[in-house]
Amino acid sequence: MKVLKYSISFFSFLLGALNQLVAQNKVSELTVVYDYSVTSGNSTNPVSAFEGTTNTIYLKGNLVRVDMASPSFSSATIYDSRKGSGAILKELSGQKLLINLSSKNWEDINKKDEDIVFKKTPDTKNIAGYKCNKVIGTTKAGSEIIAYYTTEIVPDNKDYNPKFRSLDGLPLEYELTNGNFKINYKVSKINLNPVPASKFDIPKSGYREMTYEESKNLKAQ
């Protein structure tokens, strides 16, 4: 009888583990497009300067590319976590800049998002056909992040967006508070097909090159 109980218990454990694996879809390649909007103060109307802006993430193994595109500017950040190198490409007012990145630069860019602890809530929402759980987190600077993420898509590359490294899934909608502004990202497209390797090529000409340190000095001017 004890053997039978043990067998049933072990079978139930295996069934539960199998169901969890089926529910989760670990992916090494992914394209996800977010609509990007900004509101100021208590207003619910988006700031017009950011209308039509999109944020696109491409994942391919250890490679990540993040494109921000609007009618007035565009930028792309490309990073290889295995090599510890990458670049930021910017086009603004007719200028094309290429900022080289090292692993230390990448850490510096993302240090504000380190060690964010998310608290789970009982709230859920259906986004793009996926069930999403609501979590709330706080950055080192004290800014709040409200996110809805699905456990049905789990990126293999946890470093593609360090602020969500601790989540066991993919955020499909999230909102950041930055001073008087609220920045909202909401998914508009998900593609699980392979991403062309050319997406992660860094241009060898046509851009004014500078180091990460030089780019920081440029911002301070």
Percent of the chain predicted with pLDDT > 90: 62
**Which residues span the domain enclosing 73?**
25-207
**Residue (of 150, 184, 186) closest to 169 by Cα position:** 150
Residue 18: pLDDT above 50?
Answer: no
| pLDDT tier, 14 (very low <50, low <70, confident <90, very high otherwise) | very low
Residue 169: pLDDT above 60?
Answer: yes
Residue 19: pLDDT above 50?
Answer: no
User: What global pTM score does this model have?
Assistant: 0.84
Please report the pLDDT score of residue 15 as a whole number. Answer: 44
The mean of the pLDDT values for the chain is 87
Structure tokens at 69: 């595109």
How much is the average pLDDT of 63-83?
94
Residue 186: pLDDT above 60?
Answer: yes
Residue 216 placed within a domain: no
pLDDT in tens, 27-53: 999 999 999 999 887 777 778 878 889
Looking at residue 46, what DSSP letter applies?
B
The sign of the dihedral angle between the CA atoms of 205, 195, 54, 65 is: negative
In degrees, to the nearest 5, what angle opens at C-alpha 151 toward C-alphas 103 and 127? 105
Helix (H), strand (E) at residue 2: helix 2-23
Q: What is the CATH number of the domain that holds 148?
A: 2.50.20.10
pLDDT in tens, 74-83: 999 999 999 9
Residue at 206: amino acid letter: G
Q: Which residue has the higher pLDDT, 198 or 52?
A: 198
Q: Which residue has the higher pLDDT, 40 or 6?
A: 40
| pLDDT tier, 179 (very low <50, low <70, confident <90, very high otherwise) | confident
Per the structure, how many domains does the chain have? 1
Please report the pLDDT score of residue 164 as a whole number. Answer: 94
Please report the pLDDT score of residue 200 as a whole number. Answer: 97
